[in-house]
Amino acid sequence: MFKEIFKWVIMLISQPAKAWNELAQKEEKGDEFLSHFIYPLIGIITVAAFLGILFTRKEFDVELALKSSIRTLVAAFGGFYLAAYILNEMWQGIFKREKNMIVWQRFVGYSSSLMITLNAILMLLPEFFFLRIFVLYTFYIVWEGAGPYMQIAENERLKFVGIATTVILVLPVLIETVLFMLMPGLRV
């Protein structure tokens, strides 16, 4: 399972056009995508948050590591589901297409795989903070997926990509910020 996840993440980062064409042809049953791709990916980032705090701090603080992993887990899950929901609603409202939450969950999950992977790496290696700029590559990943996966016409593509990329990138950060402000016990 992790080998398959690693393959898709690398393919989406290195060859997004080819990856989206293959994903458009891929048949997934029910919640197979969630249980075989997004949940393990979120699990990886949660474990990375725990280990990152545990081993990169001067003091060995399990409580702080648990707080960090909880905040990361809630931000990743909340960002994923909220982005899929919002984009599904906008799909009908702005683009006048029929709602399909399953397609949106897959699109948001695959599009945010770079962001999740990059966050996991940066939690384990915080001194490489400058790598955070590569999260903007998500714009290109979404651009390449708009045509073959979401069937967006060329004249609507830029609007679609702008909206989708903004929602996918901003919501996890927004949720983490709200958690930071509302729950002082989760401050790391």
pLDDT in tens, 16-45: 999 999 999 988 777 888 899 999 999 999
* pLDDT at position 163 over 80: yes
Task: Provide the 10 A C-beta neighbour count for residue 153.
Answer: 10
The reply to whether 20 falls in a domain is: no
Mean pLDDT, rounded, of the chain: 90
In this structure, is residue 55 part of a structural domain?
A: yes
Residue 22 lies in a domain: no
DSSP annotation of 29 reads -
Which of 73, 49, 53, 71 has the alpha carbon at shortest distance from 62?
53
pLDDT recorded at residue 188? 56
How many domains in the chain?
1
Q: What is the extent of the structural domain holding 60?
A: 2-13+31-180
Question: Closest Cα to residue 72, out of 50, 98, 102, 89?
Answer: 50
> What band does 14 get if pLDDT is binned at 50, 70 and 90?
very high
CB 81 within 8 A of CB 112: no
Cβ distance 160 to 150 under 8 Å? Answer: yes
In a domain, 52, yes or no: yes
Specify if 126 maps to a domain.
yes
Classify residue 186: in a domain, yes or no.
no
CA distances from 36 to 32, 33, 43, 58, 106 (A): 6, 5, 11, 36, 11
Report if residue 185 sits inside a domain: no
For 102-134, write each residue's pLDDT tens digit: 999 999 999 999 999 999 999 999 899 898 999
DSSP category for residue 58: S
The percentage of residues in the chain with a pLDDT greater than 90, rounded to a whole number, is: 64
Q: In one letter, which amino acid is 99?
A: K
> Percentage of the chain surpassing pLDDT 70?
98
Instruction: Report the pLDDT value the prediction gives residue 181, as an integer from 0 to 100.
Output: 85
In a domain, 121, yes or no: yes
* pLDDT > 70? residue 150: yes
The vertex-166 CA angle with 49 and 154, nearest 5°, equals 135
Q: What is the pTM of this model?
A: 0.90
